[in-house]
Structure 1
């Protein structure tokens, strides 16, 4: 049984025991005789004994219930209940953690955060929670150096992290951050037209756009600040990772402090020395995430490295008539995943204009696992000019394509590249747009990126806490979901009303 469920069952059993004790007192009070025939002194001793026994049972029952408190949230939205992931982080604690939370007692949001943290503190004895109103205890706030409301100081093993906010997910991430014994750095590779890690803007695609290569400008795309991965950088920083830029052309080698090298959609070919540096980095036990879109052509050294990792890039685009968004069959939606720590909690991801990966025989000692695949009705076709890449044209040619089968879209590889070398980890995905500012916040795209980075950093055993990304309100649906909504609302619902009306008319004839 899961530890969290065992804790809840344990607390409910104590609550049930308290109810049983109270019912026993009530039954004893009803059934015990008032006249005992023991005389005046005996009757007084009898009455005093009954009172003392009842008080003893009542005190012990309430002390037991207090020591095993049960949290009951009767609100429909479970406003005062911590999220499941936050509770999972608390359940995993094996090291003492202290949280001091500063809030304003007349602030409803701060009061909710206080209640949430107190529930989390009762969940695991390894977590100690102290809530403080700086207006009532200013000396403690001054001693801790806190001058803000709704701020938490998370401490463990001499390390401390300051969290500003009222979201228990941020507190849970703070717990994970303070328990790390090493600094984890994600190095964003630059110098080949990659997505910039500094970009804060995003742009929006209009419906009907089928060119996701972002090569030639399209009149159907809103022109704003270009694609970037600034949102991804901020998500990783919220998870406690350090981020920095890496230019291999000038550094010559991957620095030793780079825990992960992230290659976000390069557009120009690498230099042979850069490919050799990446190969040496992985051979030395490094971790890398390659997102290689259609516009990228690897040079011989990088192609050899990818082949050692078990994949070959195809200059094709995947078309999926069965699982895609709205009318764009090149915006492949993935709803099923191969078993792997990265895909453990994923539900639905989508990839605008993704290339297929051909599995090859990896280097000895390397284990390859496909983690992303298109549906059974998908096929791939060579990339052509932008004007020829319309959705309608692709749909018309689908029947003429004989090689219809699932395509591998992403793999995870681990092992050693040569005997005696350190074990490495790598992830290769045939698209970079899905992690850009435009598409990262939607569905499970951000979950995929965080899960991949956590696996590359050897943190997959812990609970992944989702970082909230503010986005404009919108609903994204697959083609099948849109079709079923249309059938139910536009066809079945009116027909049902007409049918009911007809039955009522027939009964009243």
Structure 2
């Protein structure tokens, strides 16, 4: 069937239909062709057998139609709605109507139509109407639709238009129309953060030395594609609104900001900005703070994050055991403690992440570690970026001579509660890296799943099923150093030598 959770009731009905067909077949084999009954008795017998057989067949097929079961035998489950989409349909508690306009000659449109029909059978509150505008233009004019592969989702007077053939995007549209409130993600800018309006595809390629955080390489390299545009578009696909926020000019976080996102600030906050962030959290706000290596916290901001129970260290985590590709500074996290943010997250990786020291929290705040490096990881001190005008730590060179102490390091923390007795309940997530949220690394592994799950938790939507739209990525084959050398040897050395050898054999046989 198309969903991991089998509909056993439908399977039982399908089994009953099969049993009825087998009984009819077996009965037909055993009934005598000639009974010896003459006259009207023989005719009544024959008519009765025919009526009983037809009645059983009709009733069995009606029962099967009313309790349909669908099997997808393709290896890729092409005709199967995603598990997340089906769980989202299970959570629909109010009537929703989806009118899907497709072109009957389009295979992708027909597939989306069939998937919507399967989803509608899952929950009777979901009503699906599939229309080909070329055959029924009246409904298309009523809904003001002039394009193919468009779904109009309506519920309680609200309407959402979803364009595409992906059932997950339609499931997100259903969640949006049932949400009933506006969620706004405010991206902080003014400190060299990753720009939210960047839409360029960007692939982060390292030099032969790998990803390094030495003094010279810790400077930010500005690239046209380096930004947080993919994160913004993923949030917008969830139905969130996104806007820029410059605290230095606005003076405070607007009340309409459901969550505040700070992705890789590079210059130190002003004291007034740190005070505005504190006031926002005291009002019950939510913040996603991705504080990359080298960012120096203003004293007011340092006190605020210390009250949250965290202290980002000026070090880089090196993990020889669990890392991505061949670089131990690209820390990979494969296991997570139970938390709403990480319950459906698998492997994530963080290029050049700083560790976080857990402190005692203020008020009734609860700080929970989300991300931990492996037991073999250790840290290496890194001087702050020179543009911050902060003097390097004189003890850095002394610490470099001390052998590193291996052990798991906290990389990300989730905090919730009240800052003090007079404040509202707030939520915050602090991670010692922002590269994993950039266009370079957002679509790979489970980085996008973690960020979207964090945003949903901060927006207090963790109780609903997380349905993520597919993130388009450019075709890319990532190879390790050993694999690259093997490909080079095969293409550049082995194949030419093989051609030369074959030529020599042919020459030798024909000489």
Task: Give the TM-score normalised by the residue count of structure 1.
Answer: 0.87
Among 454, 462, 465, the residue aligned to 2:464: 462
Query: What residue number does 1:416 align with?
Result: 418
C-alpha spacing 1:100/1:446, structure 2 compared with 1 (3 Å): same
CA contact (8 A) 1:152 1:171 kept: yes
Cα distance in 1, alignment partners of residues 14 and 442 from structure 2: 45
Q: After the TM superposition, which residues 253-332 of structure 1 pair with which residues of structure 2 at under 5 Å, given as runs?
A: 253-332=252-331
Deviations 1:206-239 (A, max 9, x none): 24455566985689x9873263111111111111
Cα distance in 1, alignment partners of residues 249 and 306 from structure 2: 26
Q: After the TM superposition, which residues 206-217 of structure 1 pair with which residues of structure 2 at under 5 Å, given as runs?
A: 206-210=206-210
Report whether the alignment pairs 1:154 with 2:156. Answer: no
C-alpha spacing 1:6/1:330, structure 2 compared with 1 (3 Å): closer
Cα distance in 2, alignment partners of residues 43 and 401 from structure 1: 101
CA contact (8 A) 1:227 1:437 kept: yes
Give the SS at the match of 1:380.
strand
Deviations 1:47-69 (A, max 9, x none): 22222222211111110001111
Query: What residue number does 2:16 align with?
Result: 17
Query: What residue number does 1:429 align with?
Result: 431
297-306 or 6-15, larger mean C-alpha shift = 6-15
Query: What residue number does 2:187 align with?
Result: 188
Stretches (4+) displaced over 4 A: 3-7, 33-39, 209-219, 397-400, 475-479
C-alpha spacing 1:222/1:271, structure 2 compared with 1 (3 Å): closer
Query: What residue number does 2:362 align with?
Result: 363
**Pairwise CA distance, 1:286:** 0.8
Among 393, 406, 429, the residue aligned to 1:404: 406
CA contact (8 A) 2:100 2:113 kept: yes
C-alpha spacing 1:48/1:214, structure 2 compared with 1 (3 Å): farther
Give the SS at the match of 1:341.
coil
Task: Give the TM-score normalised by the residue count of structure 2.
Answer: 0.86
Deviations 1:472-495 (A, max 9, x none): 22345899xx89x99xxx9xxxxx
CA contact (8 A) 1:154 1:178 kept: yes
**Pairwise CA distance, 1:359:** 0.1
Deviations 1:50-104 (A, max 9, x none): 2222221111111000111111223232221112222221122222211111111
Q: After the TM superposition, which residues 337-416 of structure 1 pair with which residues of structure 2 at under 5 Å, given as runs?
A: 337-384=336-383, 401-416=403-418
C-alpha spacing 1:314/1:462, structure 2 compared with 1 (3 Å): same
Query: What residue number does 2:500 align with?
Result: none
Cα distance in 1, alignment partners of residues 473 and 103 from structure 2: 29
**Pairwise CA distance, 1:260:** 0.1
450-459 or 91-100, larger mean C-alpha shift = 91-100
Give the SS at the match of 1:42.
helix
Cα distance in 2, alignment partners of residues 193 and 229 from structure 1: 12
Give the SS at the match of 1:466.
coil
CA contact (8 A) 2:294 2:383 kept: no
Query: What residue number does 1:499 align with?
Result: none
List alignment gaps of at least 5 residues for structure 1: 387-396, 491-509
Query: What residue number does 1:449 align with?
Result: 451
Query: What residue number does 1:55 align with?
Result: 54
**Count of residue pairs brought into register by the alignment:** 472
C-alpha spacing 1:193/1:168, structure 2 compared with 1 (3 Å): same
